[in-house]
Amino acid sequence: MLKFNYRNADAMVVGEANGLNIAQEFDNYKETIASIIADLNKRKDKPGQWLQWMNLGYSEETIWYAKEFASMVENRFENILVLGIGGSALGGIAVTEALLKPYWNLLSAEERNNFPRIFFLDNIDPDTMQGLLNVLDLKKTLVNVITKSGSTAEIMSQYMILKDMLEKELGDDYRKNIVVTTDKNVGVLKQLADQEGYKTFIIPDDVGGRFSVFSAVGLVPFALVGIDIDELTNGIKDMDLALKNTDIHENIAAQNALIHYLMDTQKGKKLSVMMPYSSRLRYVADWYAQLWAESLGKEYDKNGNKVNVGPTPIKALGVTDQHSQIQLYNEGPNDKLITFIRVENFDTTIEIPNIFEYTGIGYLGGKTINDLLNAEADSTKVALSDYCRPTLTISIDKITPYSMGQLLYMLEVQTAIAGELYNIDTFNQPGVEQAKNYTYALMGRSGYEDSAQQLQEKMASV
Ligand code: PA5
- Using 50, 70 and 90 to split pLDDT, how confident is the model at 454? confident
Cα of 84 to ligand 1 centre, how many Å? 8
Looking at the CA of residue 152, tell me the nearest atom of ligand 1: 15
State the virtual CA torsion across 415, 417, 421, 422 in degrees, nearest 10: 30
Burial of 259 (0-12, 13-18, 19+ CB in 10 A): buried
Mean pLDDT value across residues 406-419: 98
Are 190 and 184 in contact, with CB atoms under 8 Å apart?
Answer: yes
* Ligand 1 midpoint to CA 151 (Å): 10
Most informative mutation of 83, 122, 152 for ligand 1 (most atoms within 8 A of CB): 152
User: For this structure, is 294 an active site residue?
Assistant: yes
The CATH class for the domain spanning 3-42+233-422 reads alpha beta
Q: Residue 167 catalytic?
A: no
Whole-angstrom Cα distance, residue 76 to residue 98? 25
pLDDT digit string (tens) for 139-159?
Answer: 999 999 999 999 999 999 999
Q: Domain residues of the chain, as ranges?
A: 3-42+233-422, 52-227
Establish whether residue 10 lines the binding site of ligand 1, counting it when its CB lies within 6 angstroms of any ligand atom.
no
- 52-227 shares the fold of 3-42+233-422: yes
Q: Annotated catalytic, 260?
A: no
User: How many whole angstroms separate alpha carbon 189 and alpha carbon 144?
Assistant: 12
In a 13 Å sphere around the CA of 82, the CA atoms on its Cβ side amount to 30
Q: What integer pLDDT is reported at residue 311 of this predicted model?
A: 96
Task: Check 25, 294, 412, 420 and give the catalytic one.
Answer: 294
* Rounded Cα gap, residues 256 and 241, in angstroms: 17
Crossing angle of the two packed helices 216-224 and 60-72, in degrees rounded to 10? 30
CA of 283 to the centre of ligand 1 (A): 17
Alpha-carbon distance 218 to 405, whole Å? 11
Portion of the chain with pLDDT greater than 90, in percent: 91
Residue ID of nearest Cα to ligand 1 atom 9: 86
- Residue 445: pLDDT above 90? no
Span 46-64, pLDDT tens digits: 999 999 999 999 999 999 9
CATH superfamily of the domain spanning 52-227: Glucose-6-phosphate isomerase like protein; domain 1 (3.40.50.10490)
Alpha-carbon span 206 to 257, nearest angstrom: 22
pTM of the model: 0.96
Nearest atom of ligand 1 to the alpha carbon of 429: 3
Is a pLDDT exceeding 80 seen at residue 462? no
Closest C-alpha to 419, from 258, 306, 209, 268: 258
Please report which confidence band the pLDDT of residue 218 belongs to, taking 50, 70 and 90 as the band edges.
very high
